[in-house]
Chain A
Amino acid sequence: MEPLLSVRGIVKRFGGLIAVNDVDLDVYPGEVVALLGDNGAGKSTLIKVISGVHKPEAGKIYFEGKEVKMETPMDALKIGIETIYQDLALAENLNVYSNIFLGREKTKDYLGFIKVLDHDFMLRESEKVLKKLDIKIPSLKNKIKTLSGGQRQAVAISKSIYWNAKLLIMDEPTAALGVAEQKKVLNLIRTLKDQGVAVILISHQMYDVFQVADRIVVMRRGEKVGELDAKKTNPDEVVSLMVGAELVAS
């Protein structure tokens, strides 16, 4: 199978600091890749390159077999790379379906020449996508601020999926959640995987990673130091790669 995303030799510098140094990464459709590393290992910088926030100094990005050059995050969104940051980027004062359609609202004609918001359409479509992902939220007319952290995460994911995300990058999706909610989000990641969506997961929670990831990529000081099959490794091995094997050995 051909990888959905192929990253080759990415280098990103900030002044004298080399944040990402010559990193390769492949992600296949329907695969969950966990990106691990200590603080400052370069995980965030790498995903920001993939999502069009940073331009790399060197290296190439291939998406669906074609080389892509992304100038802005909008370019990444257009080809189907969606990123969900920790803050989720939801407008808390708007309801669920308005957030799913934010910036891309559906309108209909009113009196033939005025365009008004088509609430019914947006509500129906949002219900469909939530159903597809098996997400339960009391009413899609409720404001985001009435939802729990896990429900908000689910809304953010639904939004990406509705707009045809093929690759979903999630930054610490379970960090701010309670245990029950964490499980729901992990289940949701499995649902995405079953539907053929590729996921890059950044997490500090080793438990989460082993629950859902197929492959684990470990970064340290800007370099990729290991790529492991999640079924054939264990947390100790991953941690020793993260902090540097020599430290563990001594």
Chain B
Amino acid sequence: MDERLIEKNNPLIFLGRYWTFIFLISEFIIFSIIGTGYFSIRNFQNMLVASTIILLLATGETFVIITGGIDLSVGFVMGFMCVVFSKILMAFFKAGMAQEWALLISVIFTLFIGLLPGLLNGYLVARWKVPPFIATFGMYGIAYGLAEIVSNNVPIAGLPQLAGQIGNGYFMYWLPGKVLAWFARPHLPRAQLRHLIYLIPNIFLISIVFVIVFAFILSKTKFGQHTYAIGGNIDAAIRAGINVKKHLMKVYMISSFFATLGGITYSLRFVTGRADAGSANMLDSIVAVVIGGASLYGGKGTIWGTFIGTLIITVLETGMVNLGLPTYNKYIVVGIVLIFAVLMDQFFPEIVHKGE
């Protein structure tokens, strides 16, 4: 008997596997019907923007959770790197460097600095066997405190204009039949500007490239396979000759790399550097990963699932705003979906390993 055939033909197992996708679609249809202007290109773009930072944090978090760990520091590492990025950028900019170069160099510097919190988390977890919850919770505090010190407790404002243009710009601007422009908004009369269609926010586009690259690494490469193996049975991984310590350090560095991307994205979008930039996103990102089918016991999860999880949260959030409902309602629904996700996972365990 082929178990895969059984999976395909059993509606309950089908539901067990694809319920998140079905939930997302239903959620979306409901808001489109009862909301005002929900089903519109403008609103889709808003949702993509709103989902970007959660998606970034959640992608890194997926790797960590698959190994059976957790990274609680992503939110404040994001804030810390947001501040660091803004500081470096301001320093170069004030020193008279051209905007483009100042931006490019600050991005590169920040991405390197952003690996350090992950390196330390990974070292504590892998080498000294500190429980991931504790190691990253410690980093949560350290990153926040350092961010406040670096920023002197005030948001860093006055970033170069170009930052905001990138952070709030779109990949494509389209006025059907008239204009098609890339990256920069074309100069048009006010009347026409109203009909201009904005397609794909820059920050989402850039982020999704990183997300896809890491989704590929997780699902197609040896590195990904070892990540799953460590979460499934760490002793088996060690005995199979996998360098588990080194691997775990890399995984925590991936997480803090994505937190750094989140911090840079925040700076570009809001043209400020804030120490508390990511404080609201840490929990959302973990929830997105778990809704997406990962288990906190490790060994399972996919970036695709995490992506769906992120959209479920964003569609809810934007939908509630659209209906004029206070956002705390979101927490109730997200809470229910989260618990439901874990129950579904227990009732419908996967039979086939997806990594193929």
Contacts and interface: CB of A to CB of B under 8 A. Distances in A.
A104 B240 contact: yes
B232 interface: yes
Nearest to A156: B236
Interface stretch (B55-63, B116-124, B220-228): B220-228
A110 B1 contact: no
Interface in B333-356: 349-353, 355-356
Interface string B184-224: 00000000000000000000000000000000000011100
B69 to A, nearest CB: 15
19 contacts: A73-B239, A89-B236, A89-B239, A90-B233, A92-B299, A93-B232, A93-B353, A94-B228, A95-B353, A98-B229, A103-B240, A103-B241, A104-B241, A117-B220, A138-B1, A139-B3, A141-B352, A143-B351, A146-B3
A94 B300 CA distance: 9
A206 interface: no
B245 to A, nearest CB: 14
- Ranked nearest first, the 9 interchain pairs of A and B with the lowest CB-CB distance are A103-B240, A91-B232, A93-B299, A93-B232, A95-B353, A89-B236, A102-B240, A103-B241, A116-B220
A128 interface: no
Given A73-B239, A116-B220, A138 B3 contact: yes
Interface in A191-209: none
B237 interface: yes
A74 B355 CA distance: 27
B235 A87 contact: yes
B116 to A, nearest CB: 28
A117 B222 contact: yes
B352 A89 contact: no
A117 B225 contact: yes
A94 B229 contact: yes
A87 B234 CA distance: 12
A44 interface: no
A74 B4 contact: no
Given A74-B241, A107-B222, A116-B221, A92 B351 contact: no
A91 B236 contact: yes
A99 B233 CA distance: 11
B235 A89 contact: yes
* Among A77, A93, A105: residue with most chain B CB under 10 A: A93
Contacts of A94: 225, 228-229, 232, 353, 355
- Residue among A94, A142, A146 having the largest count of chain B Cβ atoms under 10 Å: A94
Q: Indicate the size class of the contact surface on chain B.
A: 20 to 34
A115 B225 CA distance: 13
A157 to B, nearest CB: 15
Contacts of A93: 228, 231-233, 299-300, 353
A101 to B, nearest CB: 9
Interface residues of A, number: 31
Interface in A61-92: 73-74, 77, 87, 89-92
Nearest to A90: B236
A119 interface: yes
B50 interface: no
B236 to A, nearest CB: 4
Interface in A112-154: 114-117, 119, 138-139, 141-143, 145-146
Nearest to B241: A103
A28 to B, nearest CB: 27
Contact of A95 (B1, B235, B239, B352): B352
Interface string B241-282: 110000000000000000000000000000000000000000
Given A90-B233, A103-B241, 19 more contacts: A73-B239, A87-B235, A91-B228, A91-B233, A92-B232, A94-B353, A103-B226, A104-B241, A107-B222, A114-B221, A116-B220, A117-B222, A139-B4, A141-B3, A141-B356, A142-B352, A143-B351, A143-B352, A146-B351
Contacts of B226: 103
A98 B353 CA distance: 9
A107 B222 CA distance: 8
Contacts of A116: 220-221
B2 A138 contact: yes
A131 to B, nearest CB: 17
Given A93-B299, A102-B240, A143-B351, A119 B356 contact: yes
B225 A98 contact: yes
Given A93-B299, A94-B232, A98-B225, A103 B353 contact: no
B240 A145 contact: no
B212 to A, nearest CB: 13
Nearest to A102: B240
A105 to B, nearest CB: 5
B237 A103 contact: yes
